[in-house]
Structure 1
Amino acid sequence: MFKTIEESQVTITQLMLPSHSNFSGKIHGGFILSLMDQIAFACASRHSRNYCVTASVNKVDFLNPIEVGELVTLKASVNYTGRTSMVIGVRVESENIQTGEKKHCNSSYFTMVAKDENGKNVSVPGIILNNKNKIRRFARSIARQEQAKNRTTAFKTSEFKMEEYLDAIKKQNALIEL
């Protein structure tokens, strides 16, 4: 079974309140991460028709601060489907209500796994890729998976070759005392 990406997309908009702010008066990154996880869950669950759990989050860069009083819009789409997992792309934008100025605040990728009522992994429908952008996003997810496998292997304790990294470490803000 295959579904269009549009069938599962979710968008939410929320007003940022003072209770969402950190000590510097900006919206707390942890609050935004929580909203991102919620919308990724909603999108993955809508696609799979099962409850889903977060398996991993790939790279969260906070590009622009979010101010109290701004509207934050989160958009989630299925970018990739495996057998039981999905990669959900989440985009966060803020909008100044008075000026209408919009800022891209971050984008991230949540790997979600579908579960049945007994907590066992369950198969998910595939996605229909009907334009170049959707194919690009799917291919990008495949590439990220390969990069993650390579990172895991290179830095495994039994595989790590310290000598290959010493020169690079010496150029950083660290002191090696062996």
Structure 2
Amino acid sequence: MNAVAEKVEKLSNIEWLGQQLRAKTANYEARTPGTGETPINWEDRCGAIAGLPNKETKAYASILVWGDLRDNTHQYKDLTDYIAEYLWRMVQDELEKQRETFNMVIFCQHVARMELFYSLRPKLREYHTLKGRLVFSGIDYIEPNTYSKRYAWLGNAVELLLKELQNEIEVYISEYRSKLKKAS
């Protein structure tokens, strides 16, 4: 196995996926691998994203691969909506136990947006206070103390959900890479 092939083997699946999909200087030279295989190009890698099983994994993979962390893209919206629906389903049991003075659907949307934002930018979380994160995300109707005591578990749930989505992406991309190797 040559050195280039060994390097490709060591890449994580997300890194492999983004290898030829990010901005770079154009190279118009035709490269042929020394093994006689057809090279895996950017179309094959885009096919991996297109073949992901559902909308939320496609959205999360796109965000991770291209690093487009803007909150005004379709992928970001799709992922935020999915997380908010997930939180809403989890909160249903809590609604019967507690009397809320705010719209819980909107609250779930705000928590989803906040947790996604800070999970994609982990260094910012340590610099922003909980109150700052809440207000930044539109949650100015709850005191930070109340959020910490009653709703912090929602943030933990989002963290687990995002890890689960990333694992799903990794598994699928691994299978996709194996199929590409067998086909070439």
Sort the TM-score into its range (normalised by shorter chain).
under 0.3
Which protein is richer in helix relative to its size? Answer: 2
User: Which of the two has greater strand per residue?
Assistant: 1
Larger Rg: 2
Q: State the TM-score, normalized to the length of structure 2.
A: 0.24
- The alignment's TM-score, normalised by the length of structure 1, stands at 0.25
